[in-house]
Amino acid sequence: MITSLLKGSLAIGVLLSCHAIAEPSDSTDVPEIRPGLLMGYLPMDNPLRSDEFVPPPPAAGSAAQAADDAFSAQLLATQDKDRFELARADAHLGPDSTATFSCAVGININRKDTPHLQMLLRRTLTDLGLASYGAKNAYQRERPFMSNQQPICTPEDEEMLRGDGSYPSGHTAIGWGWALILSDLVPDRAEQILARGIAFGDSRNVCNVHWRSDVQAGILVGSAAFARLQSNADFLEARALARSEISAAKANGDDPTGDCEAEKETLSK
């Protein structure tokens, strides 16, 4: 069991080392498996076996790989500066990345204003990201920048990314899983939240670090991990606290402080 826990911690640590910023945990009851990275709700010694339901990535020379190549080339040729910067921000998976969905949800998501919601998202970040590694380790697909030799939005992560499988996208699993959790908590904002979840995955294509099929597979993994969380008592208890917190924030008129109009305009391009 100890060996399994260590392997799981190292795997999720590789994914989350992209811009992960160490910050003390908000609760002494939730241990950190790495600085700034909280233990999730699901048991790490029995992770979701994504290799058993995620199909293999497109084979070299296949029509599916040609479609991935064409999509990547199209993005590189039409890259928008503002969208590229948003993709760079989406690459960040530190404790404050929970604020990514603030505009979509319609309230500020942070440690001060919504501590229960932020804790819920920080812990599920680990669950959702770890769920991708069964398939990642099984397939070990190379990333698009290794093929097209074009820049990525986080060049400081290039060496680490070269050694981490591209398929499926762990970032996408996290973003889509968060979108499912949040749309369940705030159903009247489901359309905006789910659209932001899709855009979070698209950011990995914009960054030139994932193929389109990586992102599609990441959505599958995020959905599966979200389904598994529904039977976890600790998650369900935390979700109830977050739901009450969101209701209070909305009643108090705690609107997002970020530039939501600019985000909306960037994502509409």
Per-residue confidence (pLDDT) for residue 269, from 0 to 100: 80
Instruction: Give me the mean pLDDT over the 43-47 stretch.
Output: 87
The domain defined by 2-267 carries CATH number 1.20.144.10: yes
Residue 166 near residue 217 (C-beta atoms within 8 A): no
Instruction: Give me the mean pLDDT over the 230-242 stretch.
Output: 97
- Tokens in use for 85? 């910067």
Q: How far apart are CA 43 and CA 9, in angstroms?
A: 11
Q: How far apart are CA 216 and CA 218, in angstroms?
A: 5
Nearest to 186 by CA among 103, 113, 111, 243: 243
Instruction: Give me the mean pLDDT over the 10-34 stretch.
Output: 58
Instruction: Please report which confidence band the pLDDT of residue 13 belongs to, taking 50, 70 and 90 as the band edges.
Output: low
Three-class SS state of 33: strand
Q: How far apart are CA 23 and CA 231, in angstroms?
A: 29
Q: How far apart are CA 35 and CA 41, in angstroms?
A: 17
Residue 100 near residue 263 (C-beta atoms within 8 A): no
Percentage of residues in the chain having pLDDT higher than 70: 90
Q: How far apart are CA 186 and CA 94, in angstroms?
A: 23
Q: Which of 25-29, 123-127, 184-188, 258-262 bottoms out in mean pLDDT, i.e. has the lowest?
A: 25-29
- pLDDT, one tens digit per residue, over 23-36 is 434 455 899 988 88
Q: What is the largest CA-CA distance in the chain?
A: 56
Instruction: Please report which confidence band the pLDDT of residue 15 belongs to, taking 50, 70 and 90 as the band edges.
Output: low
- For residue 182, with 0-12 CB atoms within 10 Å meaning exposed, 13-18 middle and 19 or more buried, which class applies? buried
- Tokens in use for 63? 């029509």
Three-class SS state of 44: coil
- Tokens in use for 162? 């070269």
- Name the residue with higher pLDDT: 232 or 20: 232
Helices (H), the chain: 2-16, 63-77, 81-90, 102-105, 115-130, 133-139, 144-148, 158-162, 170-185, 190-206, 212-229, 233-251, 260-267
Query: Catalytic residue positions?
Result: 171, 204, 210, 214
- pLDDT, one tens digit per residue, over 112-165 is 999 999 999 999 999 999 999 999 999 999 999 999 999 999 999 999 999 999
Per-residue confidence (pLDDT) for residue 14, from 0 to 100: 55
Instruction: Give me the mean pLDDT over the 195-205 stretch.
Output: 98
Kindly report the average pLDDT of the chain as a whole number. Answer: 90
**Residue at 179: amino acid letter:** A
pTM: 0.91
Q: Which of 101-105, 179-183, 188-192, 255-259 bottoms out in mean pLDDT, i.e. has the lowest?
A: 255-259
